[in-house]
């Protein structure tokens, strides 16, 4: 298994753990507090999710790099060739389409006069699904080829 495939798997695992834990935390907090201002609660949940996810993802990448270097005694390749860039672009494209589908779905919940919590839950889930699909697509393209 190549370095890029191992990195994709580690990224997928960290995305699932971080995203799943945060989603559970927010849902439990929502049910426990029953906030009066739902819009404020969900907007702050998304705004807090972004820096928390970025910070924890950086920590996960650092831990993966250290563990991979210890296990294989090989450092991360510094050079990204055309294949790496193409895989990155295709993964971003599939992730983008997933999030945009979720965004449109969230807008339909607003048009159908569903609660604000439904709109924000659809947005959070589509954001997490897009991040997961990004990692899965990278692994797939590195395994199958472009």
CB of 14 closer than 8 Å to CB of 60: yes
Q: What is the pLDDT of residues 6-63, one digit of tens each?
A: 999 999 999 999 999 999 999 898 888 777 788 888 888 889 989 999 999 999 999 9
Q: Report the alpha-carbon distance of residue 100 to residue 28 in Å, rounded.
A: 27
- Count up the domains in the chain and report the number: 1
Q: Roughly what angle, to the nearest 10 degrees, separates helices 38-72 and 3-33? A: 150
> How distant, in Å, are the alpha carbons of 4, 23, 24, 75 from that of 143?
9, 30, 32, 20
DSSP helix/strand/coil, 13 = helix
* Cβ-proximal residues to 120 (8 Å cutoff; 6+ apart), any chain: 42, 43, 45, 46, 106
pTM of the model: 0.86
H helix and E strand count, the chain:
4, 0
DSSP 73: S
**2 dihedral zone (left: phi>0; alpha: psi -120 to 50; beta):** beta
pLDDT at 38: 83
Question: What ranges in 1-145 are assigned the alpha helix state H?
Answer: 3-33, 38-72, 82-111, 116-144
The arithmetic mean of pLDDT across residues 121-132, rounded, is 94
pLDDT value at 96 more than 80: yes
User: If you average pLDDT over every residue of the chain, what do you get?
Assistant: 91
Domain of residue 35: give its range: 3-144
Percent of the chain with pLDDT over 70: 100
Q: How far apart are the first and last CA of the chain?
A: 17
């Amino acid at each position: 298994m190549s370095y890029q495939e191992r990195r994709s798997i580690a990224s997928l695992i960290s995305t699932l753990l971080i995203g799943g834990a945060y989603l559970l935390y927010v849902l439990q907090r929502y049910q426990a507090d029953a906030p009066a201002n739902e819009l404020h609660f969900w907007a702050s949940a998304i705004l807090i999710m972004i820096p928390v996810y970025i910070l924890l993802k950086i920590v996960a990448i650092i831990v993966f790099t250290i563990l991979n270097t210890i296990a294989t005694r090989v450092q991360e390749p510094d050079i990204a060739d055309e294949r790496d860039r193409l895989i990155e672009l295709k993964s971003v494209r599939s992730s983008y389409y997933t999030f945009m589908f979720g965004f449109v779905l969230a807008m339909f919940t607003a048009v159908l006069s569903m609660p604000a919590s439904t709109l924000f839950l659809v947005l959070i889930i589509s954001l997490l699904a897009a991040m997961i699909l990004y990692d899965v697509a990278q692994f797939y393209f590195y395994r199958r080829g472009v």
